Structure formats: structure tokens, C-alpha cells
Amino acid sequence: MTKVAIVTGSAGGLGRGIAERLCKDGFSVVLHDINEELLHATVSDFKENGFHVIGIKGDVSKRDDQFNLVKAAADTFGRLDVFVNNAGIEAVSPFLEITEDQLNQLFKVNVNGVVFGTQAAADQFIKQETKGKIINACSIAGHESFEMLGTYSATKHAVKSFTHSAAKELATYKITVNAYCPGVAKTKMWDRIDEEMVKHSDDFKPGEAFEKFSSDIALKRYQTPEDVANLVSFLASDDTDYITGQAILTDGGLVYR
């Protein structure tokens, strides 16, 4: 039996790396993103590599979109086994410049999206009367709050909290809920963080913010999508049937919690 996974925000970045690893693990994968053009390109690339995928455009902050996403996966592949709440956005600003719009936007995507995705996936698992795995994108910022990343850090603390509470409530259905917590990766998100930190600080020149964070990593290198995908692959496997409610750091030794 071929297992089926959904990965939100998987047209690029860490999400694409996670989706590719799950395909290599033998999953049929539903690629999902709000960026339709990039999504189509990624689906084409995956199909050229012989991966069994479909692409669904959607907005994780909309509850109906999340339930429609799960329905499309079940209609296409007949079931769902793993749901990865990967989609997320960042904002960089001094605390005193945090705006209402920034708060609303980040919480809508990073927190509401995880809640709605978890609800939609759990609903499908319960209908199927099968176990299921929900895997959430947390962050080192879900364990430690960073300057200039106040709103982002708050959303990731919320993701960790919802991971814990959902794990407790869904255990009765044999649904596990865990989170992966990446550190400093050379992605477009980190390029934007670096760029914004330069704007708001006289201490950094372009590239230096990223370099500063990277230099503190015990293993002396920044993170790759494969590093994150390795952990998600494990959390998606049958080997983790007895692990739930955990927010696991995969940061090369940066934050110790």
C-alpha cells in the first residue's frame, strides 16, 4: 500500500526538500502552495523525476482551503497518512515597530494555518479509522525568542503549544502530532531576514546577519533542506508511532532546550 502525504508550502525552500524526501521514501505526495506559478514548475520537476505527485493551490490561512486540500488528496489517492503543516512566513522589525497588519498576517498563516491543517487532517484520519501523523513546522524561534523576530517567534511558540495540545487530544485516535524546529538555513526566507536586519541595524552589512547566526552553530555549517527533510522523514515513518507532542530541534547545535 502506497502511503499519501500532504506538504503545505512545498513549491520551494524547506517544503520542497521535505516533499522530495517523502517521494523518495515511497509516498504519493500532494504538493501545495499559494504561488501557483512556482507550484506548477515544482510539480513538473517532480514528475520528470518519476515521483507520484499532484499540485493544489491554496491559502493555509483559510479553513475551507485546508479541508478542500485534504479532500482533493483523498479523492485522488484514496487516503491520507501524513500531513505536514510546513507553510509559513516571516517578518523582521524592531519590537516598537510591530504593526497590526504584521501581527494579523503572521498569525493567520503560521498559527491559524497549522490549526486548520491539523483539524482537516485529523478529520480525514478519523473518517478512515486509521492512525495518522501530523507534523508541524516550528523553529528554533519556538524555543527561544529572537530580537527583531518578535512576531515570528511568538507565532512559533504558538505552534509548539498547539502541537502539545493537539497531541494530547488526538492520541485517542492514534494520531500523533509532532513538530520539527529548523535553525539557520540558506533559503529565500533567510535572505529576507538578513536583508531586513541590515535595514534596521547599523551593526550589519549584507550577509553579516546570516553569517553571525551561522557562526554560532556548533557543527559549523548552516542548514540544508536535506537536514530538515531527514527529521520529517523519520517523523512520517512507522518508527515514530510512539512519539507524540514533541518539538524537535534540528539546528546543528544552536539552541539547547
Pairing relationship of beta strands 82-85 and 53-57 according to DSSP bridges: unpaired
| Beta strands per DSSP E along 91-196 | 132-137, 175-182
102 within 8 A of 151, measured Cβ to Cβ:
yes
Calpha distance 85→60 (Å, rounded): 9
Q: How far separated are the first and last CA of the chain, in Å rounded?
A: 38
Instruction: Identify residue 54 by its one-letter amino acid code.
Output: I
* Cell (9 digits) for 145: 525568542
User: Quick check: is 127 catalytic?
Assistant: no
Active-site annotation holder among 152, 160, 180, 222: 152
Active-site annotation holder among 57, 108, 131, 156: 156
User: Quick check: is 152 catalytic?
Assistant: yes
Cα four-point dihedral sign 126, 132, 142, 102: negative
Query: Catalytic amino acids?
Result: 152, 156
